[in-house]
Structure 1
Amino acid sequence: MKDFMLLLLFCHVASPVKHSLKFFFTTSSGVKNFPDFVAVGLVDEVLMGYCDSISKIPEAKQDWAKKLGDDDPQHLEWCTQQCLLNQYEYKADIDILKQQLNQTEGVHIFQKMDGCEWDDETGEVNGFAQFGYDGEDFIAFDLKTLTWIAPKPQAVITKHKWDRDRANNEWYNYYLTQHCTELVKKYLDYGKSSLLRTELPSVFLLQKTPYSPVSCHATGFYPHRAEMFWRKDGEELHEDVEHGEILPNHDGSFQMSVDLNLSSVTPEDWRRYECVFHLSGAKNDIVTKLDKAVIRTNWVSPSEFPAGPVIGGVVGLLLLLAVCITGVFIWRRRDNGFRPANSSDSSSSDPSSVKDAALN
């Protein structure tokens, strides 16, 4: 989502800033031309490092992460070991699941996500560790009870076995509530020039046609902790409003949008509406008044189309269609009917440093 006219008006009370560290591990079976193991690490939703079963060597994706590896060879060595060890561990897990679910062939995906969120003002920490299989939740760790939650009947066997492994569950508790926070602080210290920066976006009002919703579009902001909404007469609107997701840009910044349906709004009432963008850590909000003069659109009135080129284009398309139909007719006669073509489908410790209990 992207940019336009901004009015910096009222102050917004600063909210606590939450930082996150997430590790994603993906093991696949039956996927051609793709690594059967991939692992990535993200700090505040920014890709920090990557490894897979083909290269077997972790790759830093940020300059500060490369410097961390240079300054701390033990951390780099740990990352290398995890890249090698985890692929064998999760390969065994997916084989166990396939056998447990009586799956002998086909494409199957086994995933794990773990990490934590840390509030730099209150110190509150929320840890998480969960597994998924074939796109659905399979089992997750409950920090309150130090037991596992099985949302699917197929995971009950695994739950009971993992619940009995108290040592491993205590380790998860330590990592997710304490050590993960230490890692977050370390990564933020090395990457503070980029991870702790604040960049306000450009904000635009966009509309496809005069009858379409008006989209308030913000792009180029950082960090991703932001919210945007429409309000009328100073009050936030909840009806006739559709919020989009926060999406990444290629340069590491983010974009988002929120649409307002104007079908029941009279032109005289437009001045009562405004779009508000709030970025966590920023002193001021960006307020954009609803004004037809500043709306960007690619829509062109039919009366503005040149008649000659349009008519010529239509005639050309009709001639091309006639040729195509004739060609198909001739082909069908020569081949004695249509036959469909064949097709084929073609630093420190982390939960992964302690081998998870067998799935079965």
Structure 2
Amino acid sequence: MMETLLLLLLFCSVSSSVRHSLKYLITASTGLPTVPIFMAVMLVNDLQSCYCSSNKTLEVKHDAWKQLFDDTKLWDWVKEQCFDILPDLYKSRLHRFMQHFNQSTGVHVLQVMRGSEWDNKTGEVSGFMKCGYDGEDLMTLNLTTKTWIPLKGQADIIKKQWDADTGSNNERVNFITQIYPQWLKMYLSYGNKSLLKPVPPSVSLLQKSPSSPVRCHATGFYPERATMFWSKDGEELHEDVDHGEILPNHDGSFQMRVDLMNISSVKPEDWRRYDCVFQFSGVKVIITKLNEAVIRTNLVSPSQVPAGAVVGVVVGLMLLSACITGVFIWRKKNNNVDIRQTDHRSRDIRRDVL
């Protein structure tokens, strides 16, 4: 089961970007009785906004986007795509992949990630589309040549087949470079208050035992463009420091940590020289001094442990849950753009998804 979860989590990672982004993560699977055969997540600025599955589940996050769905009457169209059209399409695609790799049974996963990034200052637009199979990158689309680039040898035959279908490739590129940026602007227009306003973190110092590393843990911040480090006498430390990755929380915010490793070698009188520094775009720098009095540790009875001390465990469980339930569409009324103007095209472009 753990191997299966690792496969499903492949596209959960979040990458930092200074641009606004719209991403779709799509997954089809077989051999997993408790997992829908089709799941899709839409991310706006790497914040989950919509999740749907072939199990007739449709969830739209945040009131702003619910209002967008109401105003543009998107509910019925999204249900049709997620409940009927896309599951059949992806099930067929997945079976063809299995035949190509001489597989008839077992657990297999097909994933597609596609999206656009838009710079609201320069107007520059970029995009991408790639697919993976059973946990490995398989193909990526060159938006300039409108041809596929195989990422492993077995994909050469698939590349030839897909390149021969120039109509589908043209439609994919058009969506990524033209339609997605329009949709992104609509989502930003509806959600700009919650999406563009930075949210500062809650910062804690954690330690398992007096000889264990001291962990500086920041959680609940948004967006993810942040850095955190330990400093001594105002200078950033590069040795005896372990940096963790920025990870998503279940509510769309982010968390990160940085560990001060050899704390036992630091003299008690020198602790005041160390600081944990959190730097966040648009928010004042947050400095947390190394102070034994504020460190949360396991060396207390369960009844004395503050609620925040278990945040790492809770966040870990919620992250796993969020990725499994939301892993899979990879993030209006805006400037004369109406999403309904493209609905009739999308209804007919059923082959465009992959």
Fold conserved (TM > 0.5)?
Answer: yes
Give 1:259's aligned residue. 259
Give 1:212's aligned residue. 212
Q: What SS class does the counterpart of residue 99 from structure 2 fall into?
A: helix
Give 2:126's aligned residue. 126
Q: Give 1:352 shift.
A: 9.8
Counting only pairs closer than 5 Å after superposition, residues 55-74 of structure 1 correspond to structure 2 as 55=56, 58-73=58-73
* Distance change >3 Å, CA 157–CA 16, structure 1 → 2: closer
Give 1:31's aligned residue. 32
Give 1:223's aligned residue. 223
Counting only pairs closer than 5 Å after superposition, residues 75-154 of structure 1 correspond to structure 2 as 75-83=74-82, 84-154=84-154
Q: What SS class does the counterpart of residue 212 from structure 1 fall into?
A: coil
Q: Give 1:151 shift.
A: 1.3
Give 2:331's aligned residue. none
* Distance change >3 Å, CA 167–CA 276, structure 1 → 2: same
Count of residues in Structure 1 that have an aligned counterpart in Structure 2 = 297
Deviations 1:270-290 (A, max 9, x none): 3332211122232x2112222
8 Å Cα contact 1:16-1:119 kept in structure 2: no
* Distance change >3 Å, CA 355–CA 51, structure 1 → 2: same
8 Å Cα contact 2:65-2:190 kept in structure 1: yes
TM-score by length of 1: 0.74
8 Å Cα contact 1:25-1:39 kept in structure 2: yes
Greater alpha carbon shift after TM alignment, 18-27 vs 159-168 = 159-168
Q: Distance in 1 between matches of 2:291 and 2:90?
A: 55
> If each structure's helix is expressed as a fraction of its own residues, which one has the higher value?
2
Deviations 1:88-109 (A, max 9, x none): 1111111111111111111111
* Residue type of the alignment partner of 1:221: F
Q: Distance in 2 between matches of 1:205 and 1:352?
A: 52
Q: Give 1:354 shift.
A: 3.4
TM-score by length of 2: 0.75
List gaps (5 residues or longer) in structure 1. Answer: 1-14, 302-346
Q: Give 1:193 shift.
A: 2.7
Q: Distance in 2 between matches of 1:216 and 1:245?
A: 13
Q: Give 1:358 shift.
A: 11
* Residue type of the alignment partner of 1:47: Q
Greater alpha carbon shift after TM alignment, 261-270 vs 32-41 = 261-270
8 Å Cα contact 2:39-2:51 kept in structure 1: yes
8 Å Cα contact 2:27-2:38 kept in structure 1: yes
Percentage of identical aligned residues:
53
* Distance change >3 Å, CA 166–CA 261, structure 1 → 2: same
Q: Distance in 2 between matches of 1:278 and 1:358?
A: 39
List gaps (5 residues or longer) in structure 2. Answer: 1-15, 302-338
Q: Distance in 1 between matches of 2:234 and 2:161?
A: 55
Q: What SS class does the counterpart of residue 191 from structure 1 fall into?
A: helix
* Residue type of the alignment partner of 1:231: S
Give 1:354's aligned residue. 349
